[in-house]
A and B are shown apart, each in its own frame.
Chain A
Amino acid sequence: MAKNELNIVPPQAASTHLAIVQLTRAGDLVQTLQAASEIKKEKPQIQLTLVARKHYSDSLKFLLETVFDNIVTIDTPKLFSSNLDNAFSELSQTLNLISKTPIDALVNLSFCKPSQYLCGLIKANHKLGPWIGSDNQDYISDKWSQLLYSTVTQGPLNPFHLVDLFKLIIGVKTKKDSNAQQMTPRKPVIVVHPFASTDRKRWKPHKWSEILYSISKNHEDHTIYVVGAPNESQLAQEIFSGQLIKTRKNIVNSVGKTKLKDVFERLTEARLFIGHDSLIGHLASLAKTKTMTLALGSVRPWETAPYGANNLVLSPRAKCFPCFPTEKCAQYICHSDIPYQVVTNFAGLMLKDKDLKLEIEKSTSPFLTGSCRIFLTEFHKKSNLIDLCEIDIKSGNTADILRPLYRMTWALLLGELEENREFPLLTKEAHGKLLSVMDGIKYVYELSEFGKKYSLSIVEEVAKDSPSLSKIKANSQKIDEIDKLLSLVKNSHPSLAPVIDYYNIARANLPGGNVVEIAQNSFFVYQDSALATSILNELIGKTLAEYKINLNQNSNTVSR
């Protein structure tokens, strides 16, 4: 069956030819490039193949070719240009091209259905990430891909940056970022990309008119290039139709007039990039340019902020942020949480060659920054994974408190990486919610222990001289019941979804060729689930204890 179509071996142990499939958008391609460039640095002899959509990869070819030895493209319009026979023939040619050199490890970093079918079709000794077998079933064998699949875009609780997850899936050792920002001399240039893929992720043109006017006035010695794709020209026209902005001579509208390669070259000479979450921000981080990202709508900045140290991210405090792309929203309340004065002030600070964190700390005030959150990216000192560090930190919501705790748990369990962190700040409300989370954790722990018990019973029964089929069936039914109860716990405690979903996926992908092997592996997955919940329980317990100590100290101070 399909599970015999591969062996499970980490790619770093097997790969001389590594093929990476990335069928999502251009921004994801740049993030894939950032991860792939690390494995190339680690193993210069490795042969790297990229499989991507032609529409997105063609414009980035100048960058992709610097890391990948072969780029094979999926040309959707060409595939469907004629009849079905022609489509089959085109596809077969593409598949032959991908595996012209035998593939040691195939990695799917895109989580869309076509990529899963494609990875099922590509012959490789080892497969990582999701793929669909000849039995039309989904498979994900490696732990980091299972985590990505169960947490990214599922809610606000994935604690890792996408590039870090890609690196961990590929098997790149996490090292300190050796390339500091702006190593090359820079010109007095600021690049602005005031657009994003959807309306909810970007400000209205009039707000950008005001920002561009202010920045151009405050920095008359700088030239500000507004960049964008041809389909963003209409919005650019609206920005430049304002009366005030027309008076400024140091703003250049190059939207729709330059190729991506020219934009990248501009970024390599610029002192600052300002924009929303988009491809250009990722290009700016690749060009080692300081970036300021305005994260709005459905953007999860801890997953997709420009990758690298010292990038500034501003995000709203609105409770509904970040939303889901499918949720209807007519108001875009979060758009008004970041005042344009904050952007212009911080742009000034970023252009000074001083300690940015210190400068920002000095200039934050409740009047200006009360409604928005300010983050600086940095590599964690111990794990070297990127971290979004909040400046002027206030007590967060439950997701903000749990995200770092999840991060410590996953880093330790899946990557054997340790991270020390300060205790999250709690409010009275958050304290109450965490107590409820702990109740849920107890249920998950107990159910995991039952899972261990019934998995072990199956192993013991099979080992008998004359095993009873009815007893094996009964234990198997108990395990099914446990899984049902776990989904009930997920409904009543949504903040435990990452741990429940992750181990669900792990159980759905149990390796093993017979009942004993599968039952043994089921036991290990339940054991891991129990371990993850105990770590989370301990971390939350200590956070609550710290909150009580602080509370007592404060009340003692007041009573004195």
Chain B
Amino acid sequence: MNIVKEIQEALVLVQSTLDKGKSLTEKERQLLFLVALAEEAHRGEK
């Protein structure tokens, strides 16, 4: 499985944590950082 699919699947779990009003775990916050970085890379940021 490529990293994009892995991130997409992991994001579903993050959304579910947020929907339940729970605090995000360290790993979930790391994932959100990676997503933000990937989005910027997609827009051309190095």
Question: A residues within 8 Å of B by Cβ?
Answer: 1, 53, 55-56, 74, 76, 79-80, 82-84, 87-88, 91-92, 112-114, 116-118, 120-121, 132, 134-136
Q: How far is the CB of A111 from chain B (nearest CB, A)?
A: 13
Can you give 21 A-B contacts (C-beta < 8 A)?
Answer: A1-B23, A53-B46, A55-B46, A76-B37, A76-B41, A80-B34, A83-B3, A83-B6, A84-B6, A84-B10, A84-B34, A91-B33, A112-B36, A114-B40, A117-B36, A120-B33, A121-B26, A121-B30, A132-B29, A132-B32, A135-B23
Q: Check if B18 sits within 8 Å of A87, measured CB to CB.
A: no
User: Measured between alpha carbons, how far is A134 from B1 in the docked complex, in Å?
Assistant: 28
B13: interface (CB < 8 Å): no
User: Measured between alpha carbons, how far is A56 from B46 in the docked complex, in Å?
Assistant: 8
User: Measured between alpha carbons, how far is A120 from B32 in the docked complex, in Å?
Assistant: 11
Which B residues touch A121, using CB under 8 A?
26, 29-30, 33
User: Measured between alpha carbons, how far is A119 from B45 in the docked complex, in Å?
Assistant: 19
Which A residues touch B23, using CB under 8 A?
1, 134-135
Question: B residues within 8 Å of A by Cβ?
Answer: 1, 3, 6-7, 10, 18, 23-24, 26-27, 29-34, 36-41, 46
User: Measured between alpha carbons, how far is A76 from B38 in the docked complex, in Å?
Assistant: 8
Q: With contacts A92-B30, A113-B39, A121-B33 known, is A80 near B3, CB below 8 A?
A: yes
User: Measured between alpha carbons, how far is A118 from B32 in the docked complex, in Å?
Assistant: 9
Q: Check if B40 sits within 8 Å of A118, measured CB to CB.
A: no
Q: Check if A134 sits within 8 Å of B29, measured CB to CB.
A: yes
Number of interchain pairs (Cβ within 8 Å): 63
Q: Check if B3 sits within 8 Å of A82, measured CB to CB.
A: yes
A134 CB contact (under 8 Å) in B24, B37, B38, B39: B24
B36 CB contact (under 8 Å) in A56, A80, A92, A114: A114
Q: How far is the CB of A406 from chain B (nearest CB, A)?
A: 31
User: Measured between alpha carbons, how far is A82 from B3 in the docked complex, in Å?
Assistant: 7
Q: With contacts A84-B7, A88-B27, A114-B40 known, is A79 near B34, CB below 8 A?
A: yes
Which A residues touch B39, using CB under 8 A?
113
Which B residues touch A80, using CB under 8 A?
3, 34, 38, 41
Q: How far is the CB of A120 from chain B (nearest CB, A)?
A: 6
**Closest residue to B14 on the A side, CB-wise?**
A136
User: Measured between alpha carbons, how far is A135 from B19 in the docked complex, in Å?
Assistant: 11
User: Measured between alpha carbons, how far is A79 from B33 in the docked complex, in Å?
Assistant: 11
Which B residues touch A116, using CB under 8 A?
36
Q: How far is the CB of A325 from chain B (nearest CB, A)?
A: 12
